[in-house]
Amino acid sequence: MCLFCDMLEGKIPMDVVRETGQSVAFRDINPQAPTHVLVIPRRHVENLGALAEYPEELADVVALGASVAEEEGLEAGFRMVANTGELAGQTVFHAHLHVLGGRRMAWPPG
């Protein structure tokens, strides 16, 4: 089973920020910025690219991420990041979007 699926099933606790019928946003346990929230679809798919097969759910993940950024007061700027594949740094193979903010972001990112 996947870590995020276990979290969605209540087997592992998560600090939920906001949720919809299709997605859940929760605080990252290893934050890389003052605000670091993960947004995941309730449906298990390997990565955000694979979620494109479900456009309404993909749109919901992105919209929830933007909504969380607004609620967290990140009007000055925020970053949404999706790591796809091991070489890109994806460690949990369930689609997710990182919402990062609260500090100046460097470029290139990594």
Mean pLDDT on 67-74: 97
Domain containing 44 equals: 3-101
pLDDT band at 110 (very low <50, low <70, confident <90, very high): low
The full 3-state SS of 82-109, as one line of letters, equals: CCCCHHHCCCCCCCCEEEEECCCCCCCC
Whether residue 109 is contained in a domain is answered as no
- pTM for this entry: 0.95
Whether residue 84 is contained in a domain is answered as yes
- Taking alpha carbons only, the member of 82, 95, 92, 96 closest to residue 38 is 96
Q: Which CATH number covers residue 97?
A: 3.30.428.10
Structurally, how many domains does the chain consist of?
1
Whether residue 70 is contained in a domain is answered as yes
Strand pairing of 23-27 and 78-81? Answer: unpaired
**Annotated catalytic residue within 36, 94, 96, 98:** 96
Whether residue 57 is contained in a domain is answered as yes
Whether residue 107 is contained in a domain is answered as no
Q: Residue 67, SS3?
A: helix
96 is catalytic: yes
Q: pLDDT of 71-86, one tens digit each?
A: 999 999 999 999 999 9
